[in-house]
């Protein structure tokens, strides 16, 4: 037990040196959900319920029935189900950023770093218990199925100014800097990384629901292979 605790302390020390932390913007909620048992229940059960019903059929009333709490109690944490979705996707990209930084710690080769971050961005996350009340597997699927609904809206410019998408943009920027390490003259680093992320999500969606639109198969790494080839062939001199 002492050895395990010392190992965890070393990991935490590395994270502090790298300034890795999960910090969800207070703009996305009215009351911090992780400050209470009810709030944590709202988060964990909303991920499960949206996965079961889809975002269109999901309501706070149904969530309240599931957790045994009045609908009004959920509105004390989130002003709308749209803001709840923003909050959940913010969590997803915060976890992705954590994994990206951890994956390239002490890696000097830009090509190796890019290979590692592509794997983080494209491969599905398995729930590992690092983040209580966050089922990473379901959250990943939620973002694939519903994530575009956070910004394919009329009010996207207003919400962008409020910083709702800053963590997603930061992930794209972080990876684009690795692209520039490989080829400083490459003109479209943000474009290729955002295209990769959105495209990989879409291919996963196609594989699950519209399989004739893709060669990707469940249980295979076709998507990772495809986008790795695409990215490296595009950016290398």
- In 3-state terms the chain splits into helix, strand, coil percentages (rounded to 5) of 70, 0, 30
pLDDT tens for 41-64 read 999 999 999 999 999 999 999 999
Give phi and psi for 150, each to the nearest 5.
Answer: -75, -30
Flag whether pLDDT at 30 surpasses 70. Answer: yes
Confirm if 192 and 179 have CB atoms less than 8 A apart. Answer: yes
- Taking the whole predicted model, whether its pTM rises above 0.85 is answered as yes
Flag whether pLDDT at 114 surpasses 90. Answer: yes
Confirm if 27 and 163 have CB atoms less than 8 A apart. Answer: yes
16 belongs to a structural domain: no
8 belongs to a structural domain: no
176 belongs to a structural domain: yes
Flag whether pLDDT at 7 surpasses 50. Answer: no
Flag whether pLDDT at 150 surpasses 80. Answer: yes
pLDDT of residue 128: 61
114 belongs to a structural domain: yes
104 belongs to a structural domain: yes
pLDDT tens for 199-221 read 999 999 999 999 999 999 877 89
Report how many domains make up the chain. Answer: 1
Domain of 99, in residue numbers: 88-235
227 belongs to a structural domain: yes
13 belongs to a structural domain: no
Closest CA to 144 of 124, 173, 171, 165: 124
Task: Please compute the mean of the pLDDT values over residues 27-45 and round it to a whole number.
Answer: 95
DSSP 107-157: ---HHHHHHHHHHHHHSPPPP-SSSTT--HHHHHHHHHHHGGGGTSSTTHH
Q: Which two tokens stand for residue 197?
A: 């992320």
pLDDT of residue 125: 66
Flag whether pLDDT at 8 surpasses 60. Answer: no
pLDDT of residue 127: 56
Confidence of residue 11 (pLDDT cuts 50, 70, 90): very low
pLDDT of residue 126: 63
109 belongs to a structural domain: yes
pLDDT of residue 23: 78
């Amino acid at each position: 037990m002492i050895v395990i605790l010392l190992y965890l302390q070393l990991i935490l020390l590395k994270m502090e040196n790298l300034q890795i932390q999960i910090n969800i913007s207070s703009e996305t909620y009215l009351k911090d959900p992780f400050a209470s048992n009810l709030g944590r229940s709202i988060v964990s059960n909303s991920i499960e319920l949206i996965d079961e019903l889809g975002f269109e059929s999901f309501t706070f009333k149904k969530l309240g029935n599931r957790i045994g709490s009045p609908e009004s109690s959920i509105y004390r944490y989130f002003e709308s189900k749209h803001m709840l979705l923003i909050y959940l996707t913010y969590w997803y990209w915060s976890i992705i950023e954590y994994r990206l930084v951890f994956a390239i710690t002490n890696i000097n080769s830009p090509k190796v770093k890019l290979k590692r971050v592509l794997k983080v961005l494209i491969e599905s996350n398995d729930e590992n218990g690092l983040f209580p009340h966050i089922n990473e597997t379901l959250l990943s699927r939620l973002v694939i199925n519903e994530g575009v609904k956070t910004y394919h809206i009329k009010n996207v410019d207003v919400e962008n100014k409020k910083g709702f998408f800053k963590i997603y943009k930061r992930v794209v920027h972080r990876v684009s800097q690795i692209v520039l390490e490989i080829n400083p003259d490459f003109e479209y680093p943000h474009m290729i990384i955002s295209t990769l992320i959105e495209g990989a999500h879409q291919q996963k969606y196609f594989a699950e629901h519209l399989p004739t639109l893709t060669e990707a198969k469940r249980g295979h790494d076709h998507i990772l292979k495809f986008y790795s080839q695409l990215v490296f062939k595009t950016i290398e001199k």
